């Protein structure tokens, strides 16, 4: 009984250290998105390369697609960009760019400099659609299924590991799904 008393503080300490170790390995920037499993918000925005044309959610139903939020002022976007360019060459799914709070000229210059992986980019100059998608840190990447439901969200740059281990298997699975478009 007497020895047990000395073990109590030690046990408490070990539990505390356990919690701290888990806590230190969590990334506080990764806030779980409430949008996963929910229909993607409706939007309709002008194309970056041709503002006269609009692209909306309805135009993209019936296919699996990726939405990548980017901006020319975003430094971390440069980090993931070569990976996106490389991935787009394989033509697995269309990647749509949401050009977030950016100028048209700057954005187009950026794409000319670093390559354009996007099937099309749409301009969200006011960041309103960004708010609807719960964007708070550019770059962000969403995977949307055939029914227009958000199935995955990456906050911050997509890395090779995330692409290979998470996004690609998910895309394969989603493409196999029989998605009757469910416009919401």
Partner 1 sequence: MARPTLHKLLIAALLAAAVLGVPAKEATPVAEDPALEARMQAIAVELRCLVCQNQTIADSNADLAVDLRNQVKQMLREGKSQREIIDYMTARYGDFVLYRPPVKGTTMLLWFGPVLAMLVGLAALVLVLRRRSQRAPEDFDPDEPELPAADAPTPPTTAR
Minimum Å distance from CB 112 to partner 1? 25
Find the Cα–Cα–Cα–Cα dihedral 78, 132, 93, 83, rounded to 10°. Answer: 10
Q: Is 111 helix (H, G, I), strand (E, B) or coil?
A: helix
76: contact with partner 1 by CB under 8 A: no
Residues 100-119 that bind partner 1 (CB under 8 A): 101
Instruction: Answer for the pair 63, 94: CB distance below 8 angstroms, yes or no.
Output: yes
- Least CB distance from residue 88 to partner 1, whole Å? 28
Strand order in the sheet with 150-155: 120-124, 95-100, 65-70, 140-144, 150-155
* Tokens at 149, concatenated: 């439901």
Assess 19 for contact with partner 1 (CB under 8 A).
Answer: no
Q: Is residue 14 part of the contact set for partner 1 (CB under 8 A)? A: no
Q: Does 156 bind partner 1 (CB under 8 A)?
A: no
CA angle 99/124/132 to nearest 5° reads 110
Reply yes or no: is the peptide bond before residue 75 cis, omega within 30 of 0. no
Asked if 37 touches partner 1 (CB under 8 A), the answer is: no
Query: Which of 34, 91, 105, 180 contacts partner 1 by CB under 8 A?
Result: 34
Least Å distance, CB 66 to partner 1, is: 20
Binding flag, residue 133, partner 1 (CB under 8 A): yes
**Interface ranges with partner 1 (CB under 8 A):** 28-29, 31-35, 101, 126-127, 131-134, 136-137
């Amino acid at each position: 009984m007497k020895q047990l008393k000395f073990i109590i503080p030690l046990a408490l300490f070990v539990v505390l250290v356990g919690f701290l170790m888990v806590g230190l390995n969590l990334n506080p920037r990764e806030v779980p998105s409430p949008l996963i499993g929910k229909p993607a918000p409706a939007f309709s925005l002008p194309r970056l390369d041709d503002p006269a044309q609009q692209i909306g959610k309805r135009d993209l139903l019936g296919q699996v697609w990726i939405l990548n939020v980017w901006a020319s002022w975003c430094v971390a976007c440069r980090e993931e960009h070569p990976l996106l360019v490389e991935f787009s060459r394989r033509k697995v799914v269309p990647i749509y760019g949401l050009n977030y709070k950016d100028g048209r000229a700057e954005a187009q210059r950026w794409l000319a400099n670093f390559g354009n992986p996007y099937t099309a980019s749409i301009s969200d100059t006011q960041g309103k659609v960004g708010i609807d998608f719960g964007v708070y840190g550019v770059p962000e990447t969403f995977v949307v299924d055939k029914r227009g439901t958000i199935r995955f969200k990456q906050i911050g740059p997509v890395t090779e590991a995330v692409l290979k281990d998470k996004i690609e298997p998910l895309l394969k699975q989603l493409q196999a799904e029989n998605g009757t478009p469910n416009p919401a």
